[in-house]
Amino acid sequence: MTTRAATAIVYPETDGMPLPDGEYQSPLFRRIVGDIEEHFRDTPGAHVNGNTFLYYVEGNPRRSVSPDCYVVFGLSEVALRSLSLEGNNTYLLWEVGKAPDFVLEIGSRSTAAADLGRKRDLYAELGVREYWRFDATGGDFYGEPLVGEYLQDGEYHRFELRHESDGRVWSHSDILNLDIWWTDGDLRFWDPVAERWLLRHDEERAGRLEAESRLAELEAELRRLRGE
């Protein structure tokens, strides 16, 4: 993709290399991004994505970072259109107008060091308000299963983690207004307002099939009663 202001400069959507630890991270990435995207689908000015090249210095395509999952709120219609263009998989900070509000990284063997060091420093510099790290192994990559941090005075400070007796760990994201749970190597989101877990596509599909089956039974019963 190229900017309108500098059409000679190309900001690639990919570096042509396979994802680091893609076989391990991809299923986790799809579930996590899908959960959050569905939840904020109808929220005005919100955009959810991941595995996207975020360019943060106009005119320098080498200055980029690729969050596994990000959420940004309060975008204008122009900014939303620029992010939603068909075939576009870049985030040009100077066009969008702000950094993501929420970033989550998924731990893996080849990415953990950067997530704990270089990326963390960069996200703080860019103004990412919350930075979360999820380790499906429970700590092999990050040393702990889940960490959430909030930005204050240019530095990250940890959210308090709560440990349940069954081994689950969770904390609350102020930005998303969701509780984030590490549970048996999975990441789930609890909506404290609606008092329910965010459903996944397979769970929603199962719910729809059950509802359709029940509706068919009711229609059959109605036809029987009319016949009598």
Which tokens sit at 161? 């983690």
Q: Which domain holds residue 215?
A: 200-228
**Do 208 and 184 share a domain, yes or no?**
no
**Do 98 and 209 share a domain, yes or no?**
no
**Do 29 and 121 share a domain, yes or no?**
yes
pLDDT of 209 higher than 50: no
**Do 161 and 186 share a domain, yes or no?**
yes
Tell me the average pLDDT of the chain: 86
Q: In this structure, is the dihedral angle defined by the CA atoms of residues 206, 72, 193 and 44, taken in order, positive or negative?
A: negative
Domain assignment present for residue 59? The answer is yes
Domain assignment present for residue 17? The answer is no
Element (DSSP H or E) covering residue 1:
none
pLDDT digits (tens, 9 = 90+) for 91-130: 999 999 999 999 999 999 999 999 999 999 999 999 999 9
Looking at residue 60, which CATH number applies to its domain?
3.90.1570.20
Quote the pLDDT of residue 219. 61
Domain assignment present for residue 7? The answer is no
Quote the pLDDT of residue 211. 46
**Do 151 and 169 share a domain, yes or no?**
yes
Cα–Cα separations (whole angstroms), residue 5 to 58, 80, 161: 10, 18, 45
Q: pTM here? A: 0.82
pLDDT digits (tens, 9 = 90+) for 11-45: 877 655 545 555 556 788 889 999 999 999 999 99
pLDDT digits (tens, 9 = 90+) for 126-159: 999 999 999 999 999 999 999 999 999 999 999 9
**Do 176 and 219 share a domain, yes or no?**
no
Quote the pLDDT of residue 85. 73
Rounded to 10°, the helix 201-227/22-39 angle is: 50
pLDDT of 172 higher than 90: yes
